[in-house]
Structure 1
Amino acid sequence: MVDFDSIIQNIVHPFVLVLDVLSIGIIVFGAIMSFIKLIQAKTKNKFPSVLTRNKFIKAYLGSYILLSLEFLIVADIIESIIKPTFQDIIKLALIVIIRTVISYFLNKEISEFSEGQ
């Protein structure tokens, strides 16, 4: 007899893994780009103060972290759809709540910096 759950897990699991790796790649890329922006801003004196420069870099990196969190949430949702145990659903709910709170505050901080510009 064919086990369809196992077949579906074998097909979808690589997509979840790709989303997880993509999320890590986004964070690493964002960190590298933020470091480059920091060096450029420091050498060109583009900002009136160190505080303004640091807030800009923080907002810039935060936008990459937000994007990465969205990919992680998608991966978790797909994984929970594949194997929907009660424990997995509770785990997903907690992860989504934590990541949503983090996303909210990061987005708020980025918006405050953007409005101040």
Structure 2
Amino acid sequence: MKKEGSQDSLINVILPLALILGLALLLSLNMEGGGESGVTTPLETWLKVIVGYLAAGTEIAAAVVIGAAVIKGITAYLRLLFSRAKQHFDATEAIRLQLGRVLALGLEFTVASDILRTAVAPTRQDILNLGAIVLLRTLLNYFLEREIQQGEQRRLQQRSTIENVG
């Protein structure tokens, strides 16, 4: 049991460090002349236009999802602020966790958008940029998910202590 706990804590340290080092490596690589031939076919041009619209739609979806969650979170917080509830901390933690989950979903949408943008005839530089962006967003998502899990564990512990006392 202790061995599994030490392996989990080791993974929690090594994984973010590996992601940060990978991001730094990708950002340090500067490819000149990305290998683009300059000649594009009509099909490739149409594909770029269609994929551009799909990527823009995905970015809009991410903005709508995140914007709606922010508005919902602010509304819930204001309702909580002006109410006379005794469980103020627990409720604000729930609002924060819910917003964190939606932010993680929004990050997934933005990663999908970046992948779409580099789907048609990418250059080496486009692929390196995509790798750096995906690594950065994966790192953000990792820490966000970790924070959400820790917050949920705190809430469960608080509920169990309240139920044991009551």
Which residue of the other structure, out of 107, 125, 135, is the alignment partner of 1:87?
125
| Aligned counterparts of 1:46 and 1:77: Cα–Cα separation in 2 | 46
TM-score by length of 1: 0.87
Corresponding letter in the other structure for 1:33: K
Q: Aligned partners of 1:48 and 1:85: how far apart in 2?
A: 52
Superposition pairs of residues 18-97 of structure 1, within 5 angstroms:
18-42=57-81, 43-45=83-85, 47=87, 49=89, 52-97=90-135
Q: Which has the larger radius of gyration?
A: 2
How many residue pairs end up in the alignment?
114
Aligned to 2:154: 116
Other structure's SS at 2:119 match: helix
Stretches of structure 1 that go unaligned for 5 or more consecutive residues are none
Taking the aligned partners of 2:113 and 2:86, their CA distance within structure 1 comes to: 39
Which residue in the other structure is 2:36 paired with?
none
Deviation of 1:10 (Å): 1.6
Distance, in Å, in 2 between the alignment partners of 1:88 and 1:65 is 25
**Could you say what secondary structure the match of 1:82 adopts?**
coil
What is the alpha-carbon root mean square deviation over aligned residues? 1.6
Matches within 5 A, 1:88-107: 88-107=126-145
> What are structure 2's unaligned runs of at least 5 residues?
1-40, 156-166
Deviations 1:42-100 (A, max 9, x none): 21525253xx4443322121111111110010111111111311111111101111100
Runs of 4+ in 1 over 3 A off after TM superposition: none
Whether the 8 Å CA contact 1:41–1:47 is kept in 2: the answer is no
Letter in 2 for 1:70: E
Distance 1:23 1:48 in 2: 30
TM-score of the two chains, using structure 2 as the length reference: 0.63
Percentage of pairs with the same residue: 25
